[in-house]
């Protein structure tokens, strides 16, 4: 699957009659993992919705291989751009295999029959997410982590070069969060899928992103390697919180520690730094 | 490994329902408030009506046909509505579509002196369309859009309001009250080919549109965002499917009055049989609806012998407990 280019140009978008995105520019590196972070209501989910055609922009455009996605027929777009929304609905009693098969929807039309290729796509997606043995189970019986893997499998069966995910780790415990993110890295490596996701947890974001994007006030505040983006200055400007950033000995990626007002051991903190930043 | 749902069970369900429908059609022609002999049945079916028995049989044929057509329309419309709104309580009656169709017919009869079945059908379809739009608009007010609960509430409220309007229109008009009342309860009893034929084109178009929307309904079932992600134009898909149900409900209501609960019960039972794939669920629901309405009509003829119970009353007797059962099963969550 060839890597495709996705870019956002001078995008203005509204949500609930307020301009949420204001003149936002962003280039998604093909074949890499991009993670979007930002404070609540900064527009990161709106950005993802605009990029996946769920939301029509007021001005500006989202370009896929140089062509506006809002001028691409939806079915054609769905063959190259996949989306896992925040709260998809699993119909009661539906089996895993049945749900994952629905990912083939954009590749079929009214008269086409289910083919060997569709079967292979579904089997491949089940295997890649390691849920083959759950195939015949109803989704309502699965745990939250398993269920999220089913949705990812469905997005994989869609076989798109780009996959957008809106907070795929919400409501999962830490083990399942790591499991889901590891799985996405696997897919990025094995299929060269371009992954763009919104994450809440800054440390997981810095750990798993190749390209970290911090959104504030409807614009991209900083974008680049996690080491360059996750600094205490950026964190203060984007989230309005003081923090210390250290290097994670396991991954070599930055980790942020919020300072707050309590439970700080004086000996461990460079007090002058705190005073300097909190006048 | 097969990732596809069990085909044999679905085919079995299809053929059993077809067999059941054939059996019920045979029963419907032979059973009635009057006992007729086999020779009279054969003669009546062949088009003779020399004896009273033969004439009775000849009358039962269009009646059976109407029950099959209206039943399949209502079963199918119910399944599509439940899919479009992701609402297990959706039903042409509960969402106020049938009442809207009925009000339009009543207004036409009372104020514009419409008499032909064609005029009935056009007014019914227009009424069904208006009330569907009204209910959907009322149900979508607010930030989270048309949730199942809000739609059911808006539909029920609209249904009650429109029903009282019907009474307000009919009450001062003694000349039409009797005819309207018997039509309103819902019946296939007085069926004739003159009443069936004008309805057929609407039914055919409604049937085609509804069956064609199966794929879209499959993706809408996963939520609007996911459906859009799968390449569906969500508002277009929803409007297209709704158009199909409006045609079906309008035509069915014009032909036999508002019949409730068929559209609610049938899709639920059919889902147990063939699962959630609308490409199977929709045709099976149409068959199931035909079987249920035919069965209700036959029961109505047997229970109250020598008189007859209108089919709308029978379906209400079966449907009301079923409705309560669904609610008690706490299946009000989204489909």
**pLDDT per position as a tens digit, B235-253:** 899 889 989 999 999 999 8
**Nearest CA to CA, how far is B261 from chain A (Å)?**
22
* Cross-chain residue pair A101–B4, CB shorter than 8 Å: yes
Residues of B in contact with A165 (CB under 8 A): none
Q: If you average pLDDT over every residue of chain A, what do you get?
A: 89
Residues of A in contact with B223 (CB under 8 A): 85, 87-89
What pLDDT score does A240 carry?
92
Of residues A205 and B86, more confidence is placed in A205
Task: Show the domain range for B95.
Answer: 7-328
- Angstrom distance (rounded) from CA B2 to CA A120: 10
What band does A181 get if pLDDT is binned at 50, 70 and 90? very high
The 8-class DSSP code of residue A200 comes to: S
Q: Please say if the pLDDT value at position B5 is more than 60.
A: no
Q: Please say if the pLDDT value at position A267 is more than 80.
A: no
Sign of CA dihedral B256, B260, B262, B267: positive
- Angstrom distance (rounded) from CA A171 to CA B292: 44
* Cross-chain residue pair B3–A132, CB shorter than 8 Å: no
What band does A17 get if pLDDT is binned at 50, 70 and 90? confident
Identify whether the C-beta of residue A258 lies closer than 8 Å to the C-beta of residue A273.
no
- Angstrom distance (rounded) from CA A2 to CA A194: 10
- Angstrom distance (rounded) from CA A213 to CA B282: 46
Identify whether the C-beta of residue A15 lies closer than 8 Å to the C-beta of residue A46.
yes
| CB-based contact, A79 to chain B, within 8 Å | yes
Q: CB count, 10 Å around CB of B175?
A: 8
Tally A–B CB contacts below 8 A: 92
Identify whether the C-beta of residue A194 lies closer than 8 Å to the C-beta of residue A225.
no
Identify whether the C-beta of residue A133 lies closer than 8 Å to the C-beta of residue A108.
no
Q: If you average pLDDT over every residue of chain B, what do you get?
A: 84
Please name the member of B229, B333, B334 whose beta carbon is closest to the beta carbon of A83.
B229
Average pLDDT score over residue span A147-169: 93
Which residues touch A48 (CB under 8 Å, ≥6 apart)? A36, A164, A166, A196, A198
What pLDDT score does B289 carry?
94
What band does B4 get if pLDDT is binned at 50, 70 and 90? very low
Quick one: which of B55, B24, B16, B78 has its CA closest to B281?
A: B78
- Angstrom distance (rounded) from CA B245 to CA A39: 45
* Three-point CA angle B217, B218, B224, nearest 5°: 70
Number of folded domains that form chain B = 1
Domain-located, residue B333: no
Out of A78-87, B50-59, B205-214, least confident range:
B50-59
Identify whether the C-beta of residue B203 lies closer than 8 Å to the C-beta of residue B73.
yes
Identify whether the C-beta of residue B287 lies closer than 8 Å to the C-beta of residue B273.
no
E-only strand ranges, A130-193: 162-166
Quick one: which of B275, B261, B279 has its CA closest to B320?
A: B261
Out of B67-71, B250-254, B312-316, least confident range:
B312-316
Strand, coil or helix: A222? strand
Please name the member of B215, B222, B228 whose beta carbon is closest to the beta carbon of A54.
B228
- Put simply, the chain B residues between 313 and 332 with a CB less than 8 A from any chain A CB are 331
Residues of A in contact with B4 (CB under 8 A): 97, 101, 114, 119
* Cross-chain residue pair B222–A84, CB shorter than 8 Å: no
| CB-based contact, B63 to chain A, within 8 Å | no
| CB-based contact, B1 to chain A, within 8 Å | yes
What pLDDT score does A279 carry?
35
What pLDDT score does A278 carry?
40
- Angstrom distance (rounded) from CA A6 to CA A63: 6
Identify whether the C-beta of residue A19 lies closer than 8 Å to the C-beta of residue A63.
no
Strand, coil or helix: A215? strand
Sheet with A33-38, edge to edge strand ranges: A81-84, A162-166, A194-198, A33-38, A211-216, A219-224
Domain-located, residue B14: yes
| CB-based contact, A267 to chain B, within 8 Å | no
What pLDDT score does B186 carry?
61
B297 preceded by a cis bond (ω within 30 of 0): no
- Angstrom distance (rounded) from CA B219 to CA B226: 7
Domain CATH for B141: 1.10.3470.10
Domain-located, residue B49: yes
Model pLDDT for residues A200-251, shown as the tens digit of each residue: 999 999 999 999 999 998 999 999 999 999 999 999 999 999 999 999 999 9
Domain-located, residue B41: yes
Which residues touch B171 (CB under 8 Å, ≥6 apart)? B177
**Nearest CA to CA, how far is A263 from chain B (Å)?**
40
Domain-located, residue B334: no
Q: Please say if the pLDDT value at position B2 is more than 50.
A: no
Residues of A in contact with B233 (CB under 8 A): 74
Q: Which helix (H) or strand (E) holds B243?
A: helix B234-256
Q: What is the largest CA-CA distance in chain B?
A: 68
Domain-located, residue B48: yes
Q: Please say if the pLDDT value at position B92 is more than 80.
A: yes
Q: Please say if the pLDDT value at position B335 is more than 50.
A: no
Quick one: which of B307, B288, B330 has its CA closest to B79?
A: B288
Q: Please say if the pLDDT value at position A275 is more than 70.
A: no
Average pLDDT score over residue span B132-148: 80
Give exposure, B143-152, as e/b (b: 16+ Cβ within 10 Å): eeebbbebbb
Identify whether the C-beta of residue A172 lies closer than 8 Å to the C-beta of residue A144.
yes
B40 phi, psi to nearest 5 deg: -65, -35
Identify whether the C-beta of residue A51 lies closer than 8 Å to the C-beta of residue A62.
yes
Domain-located, residue B36: yes
Strand, coil or helix: A112? coil
* Cross-chain residue pair B228–A98, CB shorter than 8 Å: no
Percent of chain A with pLDDT over 90: 65
Please name the member of A52, A92, A123 whose beta carbon is closest to the beta carbon of B3.
A123
Identify whether the C-beta of residue B88 lies closer than 8 Å to the C-beta of residue B268.
yes
What band does A3 get if pLDDT is binned at 50, 70 and 90? low
* Cross-chain residue pair A98–B5, CB shorter than 8 Å: yes
- Strand A219-224, strand A18-28: pairing: unpaired
What band does B19 get if pLDDT is binned at 50, 70 and 90? very high
* Cross-chain residue pair B3–A92, CB shorter than 8 Å: no
Which parts of chain A fold into alpha helices (H)?
A: 44-51, 74-78, 96-101, 116-128, 144-157, 174-191, 202-208, 226-229, 232-239, 271-277
Identify whether the C-beta of residue A177 lies closer than 8 Å to the C-beta of residue A169.
yes
Of residues B282 and B142, more confidence is placed in B282
* Cross-chain residue pair A85–B226, CB shorter than 8 Å: yes
Burial of A124 (0-12, 13-18, 19+ CB in 10 A): middle
Q: How far is CA B172 from the centre of its chain?
A: 30
Q: Measured between alpha carbons, how far is residue A128 from residues A85, A121, A122, A133, B119 in Å?
A: 20, 10, 10, 12, 59
* Cross-chain residue pair B229–A79, CB shorter than 8 Å: no
- Strand A81-84, strand A6-15: pairing: unpaired
| CB-based contact, A168 to chain B, within 8 Å | no
What residue of A is the nearest CA neighbor of B83?
Answer: A91
């Amino acid at each position: 699957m060839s890597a495709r280019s996705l870019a956002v140009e001078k995008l203005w978008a509204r949500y609930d009659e307020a301009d949420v995105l204001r003149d936002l520019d962003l280039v998604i590196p093909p074949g890499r993992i991009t993670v979007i972070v930002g404070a609540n209501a900064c527009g990161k989910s709106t950005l993802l919705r605009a990029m996946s055609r769920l939301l029509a922009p007021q001005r500006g455009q989202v370009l896929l291989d140089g062509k506006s996605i809002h001028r691409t027929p939806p079915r054609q777009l769905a063959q190259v751009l996949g989306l896992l929304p925040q709260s998809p609905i699993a119909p009661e009693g539906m089996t895993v295999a049945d749900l994952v098969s629905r990912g083939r929807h954009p590749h079929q039309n009214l008269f086409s029959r289910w083919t060997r290729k569709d079967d292979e796509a579904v089997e491949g997606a089940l295997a890649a997410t390691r849920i083959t043995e759950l195939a015949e189970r109803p989704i309502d019986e699965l745990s939250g982590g398993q269920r999220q893997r089913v949705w990812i499998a469905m997005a994989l069966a869609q076989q798109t070069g780009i996959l957008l995910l809106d907070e795929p780790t919400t409501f999962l415990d830490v083990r399942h969060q790591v499991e889901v993110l590891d799985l996405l890295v696997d897919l990025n490596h094995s299929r060269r899928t371009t992954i763009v996701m919104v994450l809440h947890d800054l440390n997981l974001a810095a750990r798993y992103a190749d390209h970290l994007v911090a959104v504030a006030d409807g614009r991209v505040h900083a974008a680049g390697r996690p080491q360059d983006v996750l600094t205490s200055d950026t964190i203060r400007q984007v989230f309005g919180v003081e923090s210390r950033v250290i290097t994670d000995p396991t991954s070599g990626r930055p980790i942020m520690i919020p300072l707050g007002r309590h439970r700080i051991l004086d000996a461990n903190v460079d007090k002058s730094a705190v005073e300097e930043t909190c006048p | 490994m097969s990732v596809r749902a069990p085909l044999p069970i679905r085919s079995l369900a299809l053929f059993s329902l077809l067999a059941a429908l054939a059996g019920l059609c045979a029963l419907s022609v032979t059973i009635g408030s009057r006992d007729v002999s086999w020779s009279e049945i054969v003669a009546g079916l062949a088009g003779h009506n020399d004896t009273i028995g033969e004439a009775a049989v000849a009358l039962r044929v269009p009646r059976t046909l109407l029950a099959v057509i209206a039943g399949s329309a209502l079963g199918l419309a119910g399944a599509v509505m439940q899919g479009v709104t992701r609402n297990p309580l959706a039903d042409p009656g509960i969402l106020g579509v049938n009442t809207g169709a009925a009000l339009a017919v009543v207004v036409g009869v009372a104020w514009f002196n419409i008499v032909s079945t064609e005029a009935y059908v056009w007014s019914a379809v227009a009424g069904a369309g208006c009330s569907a739009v009204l209910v959907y608009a009322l149900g979508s007010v607010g930030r989270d859009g048309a949730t199942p609960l809000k739609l059911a509430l808006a539909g029920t409220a609209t249904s009650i309001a429109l029903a009282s309007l019907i009474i307000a229109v009919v009450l001062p008009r003694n000349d039409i009250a009797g005819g309207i009342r018997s039509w309103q309860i819902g019946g296939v009893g007085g069926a004739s080919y003159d009443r069936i034929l004008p309805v057929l084109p609407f039914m055919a178009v409604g049937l085609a549109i509804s069956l064609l929307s199966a794929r879209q309904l499959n993706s809408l079932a996963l939520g609007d965002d996911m459906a859009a992600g799968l390449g569906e134009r969500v508002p277009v898909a929803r409007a297209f499917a709704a158009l199909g149900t409006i045609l079906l409900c309008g035509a069915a209501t014009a032909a036999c009055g508002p019949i409730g609960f068929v559209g609610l019960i049938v899709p639920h039972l059919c889902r147990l049989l063939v699962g959630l794939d609308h490409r199977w669920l929709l045709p099976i629901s149409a068959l199931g609806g035909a079987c249920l309405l035919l069965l209700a009509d036959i029961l109505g003829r047997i229970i109250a012998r020598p008189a007859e119970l209108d089919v709308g009353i029978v379906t209400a007797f079966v449907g009301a407990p079923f409705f309560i059962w669904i609610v008690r099963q706490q299946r009000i969550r989204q489909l």
